[in-house]
Amino acid sequence: MATEGKFLKKAVLWEAEDGEKVRCKLCSHRCEIGEGKLGRCCVRKNVAGVLYSLNYYKVCSANPDPIEKKPLFHFQPGTRSFSVATMGCNFRCEFCQNWQISQAAIEDGGIEGQAISPEEIVEAAVRGGCRSIAYTYTEPTIFMELCNDCGRLGKEKGLANVFVSNGYETVEAIDFAKGWLDGINVDLKAFSEDYYSRLCKARLGPVLETIEYIAKETDIWMEITTLLLPGENDSDDELKKLAGFIVEKAGADVPWHISRFHPQYKYLDSSATPMESLERAFEIGRAAGLRYIYMGNVPGSEGESTFCYKCGVKLIGRVGYRIIANNVKESRCPECGAEIAGFEL
């Protein structure tokens, strides 16, 4: 305990319960944690009736990225975002692309990383010419203490803050972060409770609630990503429901990123997503009324670029994470004058 103690950070968003138990209020699992036990994320521990974060002093990644990698296409396009992560996750997705760092704490209790202070992170972001700090690669909710300290310092230095998240935050967590959180990409992995339960060990409902709450009750810029797994979440019926939900509850201006799946982690028996599935999803999203739809993990596709929803002219040309042309003028289409959502940020 003496060695572990120096790496403990008192957690945010929890409350004490009888018998030295605590109730974590960060994510929608809302774990009740007994003394000496861990939450489902395996990086939050009850020590003598007090909840502590185990990963605050264990930063496992800190480096500049294109903001487009998050992916955020309508938030500070063409800029760099200083990407920060610690180990751990509150999901157990069988297809996780970052499983080496997201699942290690769950599978073997490993929490590796360096003690990098919020001051050092913010200084590195400024020094690297970044416009924002991204809390990414693993689920940022489970290292909220570090996000909060970096986010507040970053705002003082003129930096924006963005999450790349599975959307399992509680309302309390969103309210806690909304003073410094400027943008978020939420994974809406499917539109099926069975999918979330079987492949992620989570539930769909809280993710839908998060998306609607962010859209209606905050000023946080939001984009949504769906990774298409062949035969799992790519039926026309499910995609119509998913796209319809985005339009109805979040709005037609929310960008939807349809991402191509490649076999990862425990989900190795599937093929990669066929291009035909991405193209069909694209058309379903457009028929539902979404104005900005993108194809991910297909470098060179026209589906990576931004087009005016009104006149169809190409506004931003992209190849992978690189912008090759940006014709947006003061958040408007130069041809027809239509306002393009998000670009004023």
Residues 6+ apart with CB under 8 A from 195: 189, 204, 232, 233
Domain extents for the chain?
Answer: 2-53, 59-298, 305-345
Q: What is the pLDDT of residue 104?
A: 87
Residues 6+ apart with CB under 8 A from 105: 41, 42, 43, 54, 55, 87, 88, 89, 111
Q: Does the domain spanning 59-298 belong to CATH 3.20.20.70?
A: yes
Residue 343: which pLDDT band, with cuts at 50, 70 and 90? Answer: confident
The predicted-structure confidence for 191-224, as pLDDT tens digits, reads as follows 999 999 999 999 999 999 999 999 999 999 999 9
The predicted-structure confidence for 140-177, as pLDDT tens digits, reads as follows 999 999 999 999 999 999 999 999 999 999 999 999 99
Looking at 142-288, which runs of residues are DSSP E strands?
160-165, 183-187, 221-228, 256-260
- pTM assigned to the model: 0.96
Q: What is the pLDDT of residue 3?
A: 46
* Coil vs helix vs strand at 109: coil
Q: Which of 173, 264, 261 is nearest to 220 (CA)?
A: 173
Residue 2: which pLDDT band, with cuts at 50, 70 and 90? Answer: very low
Q: Which of 231, 242, 223, 224 is nearest to 277 (CA)?
A: 231
**For the chain, what's the residue count?**
345
Please give the share of the chain, as a percent, with pLDDT higher than 90.
93
Res. 296: pLDDT tops 90: yes
The predicted-structure confidence for 112-148, as pLDDT tens digits, reads as follows 999 999 999 999 999 999 999 999 999 999 999 999 9
